[in-house]
Chains A and B, each alone.
Chain A
Amino acid sequence: MKISFPHMGYSYIALKWLVENLGHECIVPPEPSKRTLDLGVRHAPEFACIPYKILMGTYLEVAEMGAELILSSGGRGPCRAGYYWVMHRYLLEELGLDVKLIAFEPPLNDLKGFFKTIHWLRKTGGRSVKEVLNALEVTWEKIKALDDLELCSHETRPYEVNRGDTTRALWKGLDMVDQANTLAELAEARHEGLRLLESVPRDNSRNPLKIGIIGEIYVVLEPAANHYIQIMLGEMGVHTDRSIYLSAYTRNNTIVNLEGDIKAMARPYLNADTIGGHGVNSVAETVLYAKHGFDGVVQLAPFACIPEIVAKGILPTISQEYGIPVLTIFIDEQTGKAGVQTRLEAFVDLLQRRRENKAKSERLAI
C-alpha cells in the first residue's frame, strides 16, 4: 500500500522509515508550501483553523502523488481538532479521491488503537511480529535522534559566526539519521550529527536572549506553518526552546516534559483541564519558562483557536506575576512573513532593553 501522513517538522524521516519497514511504500508528504495552503483553503470552511487547512492541503497533495492510505493524527476533544479527521475524510470522499484516511493516535493516547492499526499494517505489509517490534523501536529512536539534533541546532544557531552554518550542519545530520537502518547505525548518525553541530564556528562571547515557544501543537511543530520562527529568532541571535517535542514525554532534558506538572502549574490560573488543544499547556509552560529564567515567551496561536485564545486571556496575569513578557502571534493564511519578522524584532528589542535595565539596576544596588 502507498501510505502517507501529515508533515510535522522533521518527523517525516522517522515515519517514512516506519511505513517502509512495515512493508509498505511511503509517499513522503511535501513540506507545506503556498500551494498546500491554497489547496487547503479552497476546500476548507472559512472558519476552520490553519492546522485544518494545511492538513487538508497536504492530504490533497499526497493523494495526487498516489497515496492510498493516510494516517492522520487524531487529537483530543473537546476542541474541534478531535473531529477534524472525520471532516477531512468526508471531504476526500466527496472529491471522489481514492484514498483512505484513518485516525492514528499516538500510543500514549490510545495504546489499544495504536497496536490494532500497527497489527493491521503489519499483516498487509507481510512482516513478522518480531520485525515490526524492531521497526517500532528504531522509529522511536529515530524520533528521539531527530529531536536531539534539532534541540542542539536551536542552542547552536545564536552563536554561529556565518549565517546558515547551523542549518546546513543540521540538514546533514538529519540526512544521516534518515540513512540509518539499525540501532547501531542510528546511534552513530546521531553522534556524528551532534558533532557536526558542535563544530560550527561559534562566537562564545555572545550572551543570547532566551525565548520559550509555546502554543498549539501543529503550528509549534511545523516550521513551515510558523514562518520558521525558531530559525528566524536563532539568526537574530536568540536561543529558543519550544515546549513541544514529539519525544518529550519520555525525556528529561527538555524543559517541558511531564504532563502532570503542567496541569498543576496551570491550576492557579485555570480551573478546568478541558479547554482542549494545548491551552492548559500554554498557561503552565509560561510559568515554567519564567521559573527557568527565560527572557520571554512567544505564543503561537492559530487564528480563532479557542484553547489558545483562552490561554491568551490568562497570560497577561502570569506575565505580570512572574515578570516575563509574552508575545502572541496569531497565524492564519493572511499572516505574512514580514509582519512576523517585525514583531519578533520589536520583541527582541524589548527583551534586550529589559535585560540591560535589569543589569543596570543590579549594578546600582551593589
Chain B
Amino acid sequence: MKGFLGVDVGSVSTNIVVVDADGKLLVDRYLRTSGRPIEVVQQGIYDIGKELAGDVEILAAGTTGSARFLTSMIVGADVVKNEITAHAVAASNIVPGVRTIIEIGGQDSKIIILRDGVVTDFAMNTVCAAGTGSFLDQQASRLLIPIEEFGNYALKAKNPVRIAGRCAVFAESDMVHKQQLGYNTEDIIAGLCEALVRNYMNNVGKGKEILDPIIFQGGVAANAGLVQAFNHYLNTEVTVPPYFGVMGAIGAALLAKDIYAKKGSTNFKGFNLRDIKYVTTSFECKGCSNACEVVQFYQNGELLARWGDRCGKWELQID
C-alpha cells in the first residue's frame, strides 16, 4: 500500500499520522514533546514503521507545527507548512464545505474562516492562557479531577456557575471563591467550560463571521463539556471530527500527497530514523554588531543546515 506521512510538532504535543492514497487515516500517534522534539520524532516514526510492518510505502512526508523546520530536516519532508494552513486543509478534506474551524490545543488556539474551501480569515492566540487547553488542565489539577473526566462532570451540571474573569488568573481565583461558597463540582466545571468558550470567542473569535458548518478540533475537543458549551454559545451544533487531536498532522500528510502528485519523488529518510544521530549546536556570530545566534543542524556529524543569521552569510539549507 502507498501512504503519506504527516508530522505536527508543537511545544506540548507531537502528532504523527500516515494516510493512504485516498487521504484515509491508517495510523496515528499522539505523543508528548516534553522539550525533546528530535528524540520524540525519531522514536515516534520508528514505532509507526514497526506498526505498519513494511505494508506501507511512504511516498511523501509533510511537517507542521512550531518545530516544523527542524522536523522537516529530521524526517526529510517534502513540504513544510504553518499550522493554520495545515489545519484548514485537514478540516476541509474531512468535512467538505466547512466554513468555520475552532481549534483549541494545549498551548494555543485558533479560529479559521473558510469560504468555498478557501481560507479567508483567521486568528491565533498564543499569549493568553484563558482560551487554551492549559487553562482547563490547571483547573482540573486544582479540583483533583482527571482532565479526561472533566466533560462528564460538566454534562451532569444543572446550573452552571458563572465564572468571571477574562484572564486565567482571575478565573482561577473566582473559581476558588465559588468552591468556598459551596457550589457543587459539576456546576463549577460546567462554568469553567463556559468561561473558556467566552474567553475564546472574545479573544480569537472576535469580529469573525462564524457560519455553519463548524468544526471543533484540537486536543481539547475531547471534552464533551466544551462541545456542549460551544453548542450553547453559538446556538448550533459543532462537529467534532473523528481524529480531532491530530488534524494538523493529517493536514501535513494531505499536503505531502498534493506535492507528490506534482513532484513524483520524496526526500523521506525512512522509518529507521532512530539510528541517525541528530545534533543542533549554536554560536554567536561576531561578524557585526547584530551578534546573531546561528543554529547549526548536524546529521551523523555532517552539517545539514544553518539558520538564525540576519544577513544570509551562514545560509545553508537542503534543497
CA–CA, A5 and B289, complex, Å:
19
Output the least CB separation between B106 and chain A (Å): 15
| Cβ–Cβ contact A357 & B118, under 8 A | yes
Specify which of A164, A345, A357 is in contact with B315 (CB 8 Å cutoff): A164
What residues on A are CB-neighbors of B271 within 8 Å?
none
What residues on A are CB-neighbors of B66 within 8 Å?
338, 342
CA–CA, A339 and B108, complex, Å:
10
Output the least CB separation between A34 and chain B (Å): 11
| Cβ–Cβ contact B82 & A167, under 8 A | no
The B contact surface, by secondary structure, is loop
Asked if A271 lies at the interface with its beta carbon under 8 angstroms from chain B, I say no
| Cβ–Cβ contact A162 & B207, under 8 A | no
| Cβ–Cβ contact B82 & A349, under 8 A | yes
Interface window among A111-119, A238-246, A329-337: A329-337
Asked if A148 lies at the interface with its beta carbon under 8 angstroms from chain B, I say no
| Cβ–Cβ contact B120 & A346, under 8 A | no
Interface residues of B in 30-84 (CB under 8 A from A): 66, 81-84
What residues on A are CB-neighbors of B122 within 8 Å?
343, 346-347, 350
CA–CA, A24 and B285, complex, Å:
33
CA–CA, A336 and B309, complex, Å:
17
Q: Interface size for chain B: under 10, 10 to 19, 20 to 34, or 35 or more residues?
A: 20 to 34
What residues on B are CB-neighbors of A353 within 8 Å?
118-119
Closest Cβ neighbor of A357 among chain B residues: B118
Asked if A267 lies at the interface with its beta carbon under 8 angstroms from chain B, I say no
Output the least CB separation between A199 and chain B (Å): 16
Asked if B181 lies at the interface with its beta carbon under 8 angstroms from chain A, I say no
| Cβ–Cβ contact B84 & A228, under 8 A | no
Closest Cβ neighbor of A316 among chain B residues: B207
Closest Cβ neighbor of B108 among chain A residues: A339
Given contacts A345-B85, A357-B118, contact A164 B126 (CB under 8 A): no
| Cβ–Cβ contact A162 & B312, under 8 A | yes
Asked if A165 lies at the interface with its beta carbon under 8 angstroms from chain B, I say yes
What residues on B are CB-neighbors of A162 within 8 Å?
312, 315
Closest Cβ neighbor of A167 among chain B residues: B311
Specify which of A164, A338, A346 is in contact with B311 (CB 8 Å cutoff): A164
| Cβ–Cβ contact A336 & B126, under 8 A | yes
Closest Cβ neighbor of B65 among chain A residues: A342
Specify which of A165, A312, A316, A346 is in contact with B82 (CB 8 Å cutoff): A346
Most interface-central of A31, A228, A339, A341 (chain B CB within 10 A) = A339
Output the least CB separation between B21 and chain A (Å): 24
| Cβ–Cβ contact A343 & B310, under 8 A | no
Asked if A195 lies at the interface with its beta carbon under 8 angstroms from chain B, I say no
Specify which of A164, A312, A339 is in contact with B124 (CB 8 Å cutoff): A339
| Cβ–Cβ contact A164 & B312, under 8 A | yes
What 6 A-B pairs come out closest when comparing CB atoms?
A164-B312, A346-B84, A345-B82, A339-B126, A163-B312, A342-B82
Can you report 14 residue pairs joining A to B where beta carbons are below 8 Å apart? A164-B315, A167-B310, A168-B313, A171-B311, A228-B310, A313-B207, A325-B120, A332-B127, A342-B124, A343-B84, A343-B124, A346-B85, A350-B121, A354-B118
